[in-house]
Structure 1
Amino acid sequence: MTTFLKANWENIIMANYAIDPEILKPYLPKGVNLDVYDGKAYVSLVGFMFKNTKLFQIPIPFLGTFEEINLRFYVYRKEGGTIKRGVVFINETIPYKIVAWMANKLYKEHYTVVPTKHEIVKSSATTKIKFEWLLHKKWNSIYVEAANESQEMEQNTLEKFIYEHYFGYTKIDDNNTEEYQLQHPSWNVQKVVDYKIDCDFEAMYGKCFSVLNHTKPEAVFIAQGSAVKVAWKRTKLEFTKQENGNENSEFE
């Protein structure tokens, strides 16, 4: 696998909201199914640190460390006898225009650029982590206080469902979807003892997500993270006759 991007993803906060699947329908790439946990579809507001970023193994001078905030949901694709579990990004927000331009130009991604900042305060028992981004002259934020001790994720939990999707799917247009692969080990997680979300979802992601302004997340998680590789190769999905003939065949 030729590696396009290599970086450390650290302090990965996930605020997870159950959502009406119909809201996600316009964002669902052709050829994949909406993935659910206990019958519920989820979107996650995510904040984390990008560190030691390299493109094709070459460090990015002065731009290798930054915050990212994204909104994503979960899908899967059946391919023969294999089920590929993946994510779809509704939006990804970073502070650097050149990095966003490259991702959008090369891969038709959905990066936007706003000022960002973060704060990490560690004590003997817990760590407080806050990611912020400036939108319309107002700082939005995602914050957790978490125990310093970490542990492996338990099987068959929402935590495991949220964190362990190893493919990405990009909706190029209504008839074209691209698939790419992410590589990283299973992450250790820390117990969240407090959190606060201050995000204008409507201003950030559009009117259809305004319901999240008045919705409490079902769960908030934080993972330590690790080195991550994103493959250079993007696979354009080939569709069956059924998929080509029925626009909604993959929406379950």
Structure 2
Amino acid sequence: MALFLKANWENIIMANYEIDPKILSPFLPKGVELDLFNEKCYISLVGFMFKKTKLFTIPIPFFGNFEEINLRFYVKRKEENGSTKRGVVFINETIPYPIVAWTANKLYNENYTVVPTKHKIIEEKLVKKVKFEWLLNKKWNSIAVTTATTSEKMKPNSLESFIYEHYYGYTKTSENETEEYKLQHPSWKVSEVLDYKIECDFEAMYGKSFSVLNQTKPEAVFIADGSSVGIEWKRNQLDLNNERR
């Protein structure tokens, strides 16, 4: 399958908040339903490094390495054969380069926005410190963790594996149409998060619907090593009856 985008995703921080499913209903694409873990609905603030970015195997000069910040939630789609596809829906994806955002929005109907971003990664003998920042309304927002330097495989059926192991993306292109695409990457290793700090104005960044997160403490914060990731060019378009065209 041809890849639209290929890149290395590194130091993937996930701050995971329990959220009322009713808040997500207006953002839910047709043909999918919310995916719950232990009957709880989650939304994640994510920060990570995009590196060695290529579009259709062609490197992007000067713009191949950058930070991404996004807000996403979790869905699933039941197939007629009884199988289930687990995926994510992005409320917003933020990067620093207009040309990259324009390309993704134009070709893939995504919701990329552009703000200045920066990062700091400090590796010490026993700990690693990772921080991603983005400028909004003249104020730097951030997500930062202090982690152990060792990493290990995620435990099966854990919240970590639920959060990280969704391999499809779903985009709401209209009230009655949804596009489905597939992500390719191995199961990632994770490190223990020893401490974290989040400074994010969710309402200013993502809209009034998510203002509740300004007063909500994340239930868990994770970090994964990451890997090379591919996003397939082919997209399936779902109709009202949850059937592929």
Distance apart, 1:239 and its partner CA? 3.9
Deviations 1:138-195 (A, max 9, x none): 0000000000000000011100000000000000010000000000000000000000
Unaligned runs of 5+ in 2: none
**What CA distance in whole angstroms lies between the structure 1 residues aligned with 2:45 and 2:166?**
15
Task: Name the structure 2 match of 1:194.
Answer: 195
- What secondary structure does 1:8 align onto? strand
Task: Name the structure 1 match of 2:232.
Answer: 231
Distance apart, 1:238 and its partner CA? 3.6
- What secondary structure does 1:196 align onto? strand
**What CA distance in whole angstroms lies between the structure 1 residues aligned with 2:43 and 2:180?**
19
Task: Name the structure 1 match of 2:78.
Answer: 78
**What CA distance in whole angstroms lies between the structure 2 residues aligned with 1:185 and 1:105?**
28
- What secondary structure does 2:150 align onto? strand
Task: Name the structure 2 match of 1:250.
Answer: none
- What secondary structure does 2:222 align onto? strand
Task: Name the structure 1 match of 2:124.
Answer: 123
**What CA distance in whole angstroms lies between the structure 2 residues aligned with 1:238 and 1:167?**
17
Q: Does 1:203 align with 2:204?
A: yes
Q: Provide the aligned C-alpha RMSD in A.
A: 0.9
- What secondary structure does 2:192 align onto? strand
Sequence identity percentage: 71
**What CA distance in whole angstroms lies between the structure 2 residues aligned with 1:214 and 1:239?**
36
**What CA distance in whole angstroms lies between the structure 1 residues aligned with 2:168 and 2:238?**
13
**What CA distance in whole angstroms lies between the structure 2 residues aligned with 1:238 and 1:17?**
30
Distance apart, 1:82 and its partner CA? 1.2
Distance apart, 1:237 and its partner CA? 1.1
**What CA distance in whole angstroms lies between the structure 1 residues aligned with 2:130 and 2:33?**
33
**What CA distance in whole angstroms lies between the structure 2 residues aligned with 1:238 and 1:132?**
38
CA contact (8 A) 2:33 2:77 kept: yes
Deviations 1:186-237 (A, max 9, x none): 0000000000000000000001101000100000000000000000001101
TM-score (norm 1): 0.95
**What CA distance in whole angstroms lies between the structure 2 residues aligned with 1:193 and 1:226?**
22
**What CA distance in whole angstroms lies between the structure 2 residues aligned with 1:72 and 1:194?**
22
**What CA distance in whole angstroms lies between the structure 2 residues aligned with 1:171 and 1:208?**
17
Q: How many residues align?
A: 242
Deviation larger for 75-84 or 7-16 = 75-84
Q: Does 1:54 align with 2:75?
A: no
Alignment of 1:21-36 (within 5 A): 21-36=21-36
- What secondary structure does 1:154 align onto? coil
4+ residue stretches of structure 1 with deviation over 4 A?
none
Counterpart residue identity of residue 8, structure 2? N
- What secondary structure does 2:217 align onto? coil
**What CA distance in whole angstroms lies between the structure 1 residues aligned with 2:135 and 2:47?**
14
Deviations 1:79-135 (A, max 9, x none): 122100000000000000010011111111100000000000110011000000000
Counterpart residue identity of residue 211, structure 1? V
- What secondary structure does 2:166 align onto? coil
Task: Name the structure 1 match of 2:169.
Answer: 168
Q: Does 1:37 align with 2:56?
A: no
**What CA distance in whole angstroms lies between the structure 2 residues aligned with 1:199 and 1:114?**
14
**What CA distance in whole angstroms lies between the structure 2 residues aligned with 1:4 and 1:105?**
13
Task: Name the structure 1 match of 2:154.
Answer: 153
CA contact (8 A) 2:132 2:144 kept: yes
**What CA distance in whole angstroms lies between the structure 2 residues aligned with 1:199 and 1:13?**
14
Counterpart residue identity of residue 167, structure 1? Y
CA contact (8 A) 2:30 2:239 kept: no
Task: Name the structure 2 match of 1:18.
Answer: 18
Task: Name the structure 1 match of 2:216.
Answer: 215
Counterpart residue identity of residue 22, structure 1? K
CA contact (8 A) 2:151 2:192 kept: yes
Unaligned runs of 5+ in 1: 245-252
Task: Name the structure 1 match of 2:133.
Answer: 132
**What CA distance in whole angstroms lies between the structure 2 residues aligned with 1:164 and 1:150?**
17
